[in-house]
Structure 1
Amino acid sequence: MILIGIDPHKSSHTAVAVDPGGHQVAQRRFVVNAGTVGQLMRWCQQWPERRFAIEGARGLGRTLAQQLAAAGENVVDVPSTLSARARLLGTGGAARTDAADATHVAQVVLFRHDRRPVEPEDQTTILRLLTERHDDLVHDRTRVLNRLHAVPRDLLPGGAPTGLSADKAAALMKGIRPVTATDACRRDIARDPLADLRRLNRQVKDKEAEMRDALAATCTTLTTLPGLGTVLAAKVMGHVGDISHFPTEHHFASYTGSAPLDASSGNNVRHRLNTGGNRALNSVLHTIAVCQIRDGGRGQDYYLRKIAEGKTPAEARRALKRRLSNVVYRLMKRDQRNHLSGAARHTEALSSHSRSGLSPCGRPWTDQRKAFGCVHGGGV
């Protein structure tokens, strides 16, 4: 098995072939253009048994990794942190070259067999793209709202009230009677962010509708958890992807940053706050915990029980986040099992009907094809 490590850049990709002993066999630099993948595949044909290791398959190497995975190649993702550690352990000084970096990427996969394979993008990728765009629009809307608070400050006594919206801002500006030309200019300037706010409100609603449709296509039950709405459920599925990558709920909690880190030493057993992990998922768990504590129910009961045990509010909230991480993991595992069992039943039904000469509707295949005009070259 030849490992082909690739160090991707914006304008070029450097590939290095490494044998099972970790020694370099060949190297080549490819200019990034429409024919890069074809050139790479022709170069790799000399090694029928091959495996690709790409640094940052979710970053600069995303396009190349997805093209190789779609072609049926064995591709794994190597985070830049692991390749940096391999570079520190390597010999040859601190000089960095693209070929050396690609070699270290391949060596990581050679000695680390737990690297996650790159899979073709699916519905979860769409959800992640929609949630990232939704977050950008919400941030832009917050910036425009702050601007709307700043501009009327010099036109209205006390400025605009809190909880400002587009309709409230429009009503306030209608009541402004400028005295000087400068005040008239301030009022006219305030109309631009108001138009931007209305536009951003429409875009946010459109993105939420798209997320709702994309989430419905996954048949997930995450939204049944109190405090977990459409936007948060789409963010969870977009960042997690395939839940089978996490063997246990403890691995999932470590990935979300909700599990404390063991900092024991000798007889001193203690834990510290985990500030790593996926911070987007950690933020989702925090929002769910805050909503459940506020709205009541089993989450609030668990929180109050921890408070009664002597925990501080922050510690009790972190304990609830850890429990919610387990619940989210179990829901996603259950959805995956239901999806797999449903697909298996559908395949078995098609197979049994094919053996009996009947369509899934219970009619002969010939009659079924006639009903849709598919016999003798006909079609719909």
Structure 2
Amino acid sequence: MAIEDDAKARAVVGGVDTHKDLHVAAVVDEQDRVLETRSFATTRQGYRQMLAWMRSFGDLQRIGVESTGSYGAGLLRFMQQAGVTVLEVTAPDRQDRRKRGKNDDLDAQNAAHAAFAGNRTVTPRSRDGMIEALRVLVACRKTAVTARRIALQMIHNTIVAAPDGLRDLLRDMTRMQLVRTLAAWRPDLTSYREIEAAYRIALKSLARRYLELHDEIADLDTMIAAIVDELAPNLVTRNSIGHTGAAQLLLTAGGNPDRMRSEASFAALCGVSPVPASSGKTVRHRLNRGGDRAANSALHIIAIGRLRTDQKTKDYVARRVAEGHSKLDAIRAIKRYLAREVFALIMQRQKEINATRIAA
């Protein structure tokens, strides 16, 4: 009985190495000593068994989980719904891994050690709600855009090598005129052994593929725009911020943007915060090549749009260039300002949403 009371009073921390079919979990005590390691299935029943097993050692303080954006997404949702604090554990130190080696048990134990010490851990993005729905739709759209571009490239490459009669027929058409013309062709499918008929069949197939992807992207854009308008209507009303860019910035902030302590954290997350690169008597900053490059790209597109349409931005760039800075340096400064503006808008909307939930 005394042993059970001691176990209940003991504070413990968990760690999980995630995989597709099995998660390997470890538990450490209040002195960071490994208590046990065990594997669990990646099902709701497995998650329940893992949580009960961890709590059997004492008061579960938090869990360090690897890959919460992929293999660990289901576990993250389950643990958050159960009221457990979850920390995302980043990659371990390479030197330490070379010394100790690597296997699933060690990875789970390293995740528990990291969660215990607070090293190599960050608060993960939430994986539920409309932000997660937005992420899935944006990812689907991205692959559709890539496939559409490849289909168009194949159309042009096929026309280049086509017989002269076909090339002359299609030479001066615009993109959509070309695609719709090819999609409307009715080639003889029984003559596919002949070179011109084979080219007509291939071009028709590619054109129809392009149009199908074009319609699919349009449908996804409609759904993405509806979610963005509901999540952050104040964001898309700003100059040069469209629904696609706003969607990416919302994804970067996540469904729990309050995990970031300041707009400087969001700027670093977007890769637009200047990084000190001073040495000796030289004091300078260099370009931040880290962060979410998709968010960085979205801010860059917004900055270019502001540079073309906003007089204040034009005056600012002209002033920086007159001071001896390059135009690219001025654009980087604009991106840093945009990160501050976007973060303020996102946090303002988040407060409104939280206030509505409390009132309800």
TM-score (norm 2): 0.85
Q: What's the CA shift for 1:6?
A: 0.8
Contact 2:134–2:227 under 8 Å retained in 1: yes
The more displaced of 315-324 and 116-125 is 116-125
Output the amino acid matched with 1:42.
A
What do residues 315-344 of structure 1 show as CA deviations (whole Å, max 9, x unaligned)?
Answer: 222121112111111211222233344555
Q: Name structure 1 gaps, 5 residues minimum.
A: 348-380
SS in 1 for 2:227: helix
* Structure 1 residues 160 and 142, CA gap change in structure 2 (3 angstroms): farther
CA distance in 2, matches of 1:171, 1:56: 47
Q: What corresponds to 1:60 in structure 2?
A: 71
Q: What corresponds to 1:332 in structure 2?
A: 346
Aligned: 1:232 with 2:245: yes
Which of these residues, 169, 176, 200, is aligned with residue 187 of structure 1? Answer: 200
Aligned: 1:10 with 2:30: no
CA distance in 2, matches of 1:163, 1:225: 33
Matches within 5 A, 1:124-163: 124-153=131-160, 154=162, 155-157=166-168, 160=171
Q: What's the CA shift for 1:35?
A: 2.7
Q: What's the CA shift for 1:177?
A: 11
Q: What corresponds to 2:4 in structure 1?
A: none
Output the amino acid matched with 1:111.
A
Matches within 5 A, 1:102-141: 102-112=108-118, 115-116=122-123, 119=126, 121-141=128-148
Larger RCO: 1 or 2 (CA < 8 Å, sep 6+): 2
* Structure 1 residues 7 and 342, CA gap change in structure 2 (3 angstroms): closer
* Structure 1 residues 117 and 142, CA gap change in structure 2 (3 angstroms): closer
SS in 2 for 1:156: helix
Which of these residues, 186, 193, 204, is aligned with residue 217 of structure 2? Answer: 204
Matches within 5 A, 1:339-358: 339-343=353-357, 346=359
CA distance in 2, matches of 1:332, 1:313: 28
Q: What's the CA shift for 1:193?
A: 0.7
The more displaced of 310-319 and 31-40 is 31-40
Output the amino acid matched with 2:113.
Q
CA distance in 2, matches of 1:173, 1:58: 40
Q: What corresponds to 2:86 in structure 1?
A: 75
SS in 2 for 1:4: strand
* Structure 1 residues 291 and 27, CA gap change in structure 2 (3 angstroms): same
The more displaced of 30-39 and 324-333 is 30-39
Decide which structure has the larger Cα Rg and report it. 1
CA distance in 2, matches of 1:15, 1:213: 40
Which of these residues, 312, 316, 321, is aligned with residue 298 of structure 1? Answer: 312
CA RMSD after TM alignment: 2.7
Q: What corresponds to 1:93 in structure 2?
A: 99
Output the amino acid matched with 2:159.
P
Q: What's the CA shift for 1:98?
A: 1.2
Contact 2:253–2:266 under 8 Å retained in 1: no
Q: What corresponds to 2:34 in structure 1?
A: 24
Contact 2:300–2:335 under 8 Å retained in 1: yes
* Structure 1 residues 221 and 96, CA gap change in structure 2 (3 angstroms): same
Q: What corresponds to 1:246 in structure 2?
A: 260
What do residues 275-298 of structure 1 show as CA deviations (whole Å, max 9, x unaligned)?
Answer: 111111001001111222223433
Q: What's the CA shift for 1:305?
A: 2.5
Q: What's the CA shift for 1:174?
A: 7.2
Output the amino acid matched with 1:68.
M
The more displaced of 207-216 and 27-36 is 27-36
CA distance in 2, matches of 1:177, 1:33: 51
CA distance in 1, matches of 2:258, 2:17: 28
Q: What's the CA shift for 1:189?
A: 1.1
Q: What corresponds to 2:175 in structure 1?
A: 164
Q: What's the CA shift for 1:310?
A: 2.2
Q: What's the CA shift for 1:254?
A: 1.1
Contact 1:149–1:159 under 8 Å retained in 2: no
CA distance in 2, matches of 1:306, 1:176: 59
* Structure 1 residues 284 and 309, CA gap change in structure 2 (3 angstroms): same
* Structure 1 residues 53 and 239, CA gap change in structure 2 (3 angstroms): same
Question: How many residue pairs align between the two structures?
Answer: 339
Output the amino acid matched with 2:303.
A
Q: What's the CA shift for 1:221?
A: 0.9
CA distance in 2, matches of 1:315, 1:163: 37
CA distance in 1, matches of 2:235, 2:248: 11
Q: What's the CA shift for 1:162?
A: 8.3
SS in 1 for 2:278: coil
Output the amino acid matched with 2:65.
I
Q: What's the CA shift for 1:115?
A: 3.0
Contact 1:152–1:187 under 8 Å retained in 2: no
What do residues 166-219 of structure 1 show as CA deviations (whole Å, max 9, x unaligned)?
Answer: x433337879999x9422321221000111011001100110111122223324
Q: What's the CA shift for 1:269?
A: 0.6
Q: What corresponds to 2:303 in structure 1?
A: 289
Output the amino acid matched with 2:141.
H
CA distance in 1, matches of 2:22, 2:182: 55
Percent identity between matched residues is 25
Q: Name structure 2 gaps, 5 residues minimum.
A: 1-10
SS in 1 for 2:114: helix
